[in-house]
Structure 1
């Protein structure tokens, strides 16, 4: 039973960090909509949908054990979004500021997935390929956000 619980925890941790990423990009889209940054809004929508797809891919790995998928977010993700809210109130909105915040979120995602992958290697090798594919796709998104930030 302990092994099944570990597997569920691993998958739910991956779902949770995707929930964070979705919420972060929703906040970024909200800030961009206020300033009519349509190109960025569309890009952020794309990455939000990417995490929604990641979650869809992860769901069967939780459901096979009769467990419920995680609906919440990580505490660090909540703090990150709070910081983004405060920053947007204190400083005038700029594309660069939002891109910097999104890059920090992508860093958080990558770091969380590294830990999840390490746990999966030991406790749930059957999900490692999926997690590696997801983090590879996320790294492309991260690089794109970083390049946009550098050009802004």
Structure 2
């Protein structure tokens, strides 16, 4: 049976893999977009996600765990597929934005999965997860607005 600290570390390490996916996804988007405003926004999201990852890793360390620097296998496969797709079809703005929306939807699932353990997590950890989830929701909404403006 896991103690609460181990459970907290496990939940946060898994969540941080998705945050690291988010970093890599927005780095890629910033590289392939042709729109300077979108590129700037994606770079801002890389910075935001890096702060999120640092916050989670700091919390993991405070509970005796090892920081998480890896990404998910699913994220690696998705980024590889997007590279192949853009090589074949080109990187139009709409497809870049759609990929980012899918990434944020995956992030939302990861935040929800972490919050499924809310009763087992310390309140400060729940607050971190909820704050980051709200930022991800806001990002998803902004991406949807961006997509509408390029249609």
State whether TM-score is above 0.5.
Answer: yes
Aligned to 2:72: 74
Unpaired segments of 5 or more residues in structure 2? none
Aligned to 1:100: 98
Q: Deviation at 1:76?
A: 1.4
Number of aligned pairs? 148
Correspondences of 1:136-151 after superposition (within 5 Å): 136-151=134-149
Aligned to 1:7: 8
Q: Secondary structure at the match of 1:2?
A: coil
8 A contact 2:9–2:60 mirrored in 1: yes
The reply on whether 1:47 has 2:38 as its aligned counterpart is no
1: CA distance, partners of 2:91 / 2:59: 40
Q: Deviation at 1:60?
A: 2.5
Moved over 2 A (4+): none
Q: Deviation at 1:145?
A: 0.6
Q: Deviation at 1:88?
A: 0.5
TM-score (norm: length of structure 2): 0.91
8 A contact 1:80–1:105 mirrored in 2: no
2: CA distance, partners of 1:65 / 1:109: 23
8 A contact 2:17–2:71 mirrored in 1: yes
- C-alpha RMSD over aligned residues: 1.4
The answer to which of 78-87 and 22-31 deviates more is 78-87
2: CA distance, partners of 1:111 / 1:75: 16
Aligned to 1:123: 120
Unpaired segments of 5 or more residues in structure 1? none
1: CA distance, partners of 2:57 / 2:69: 11
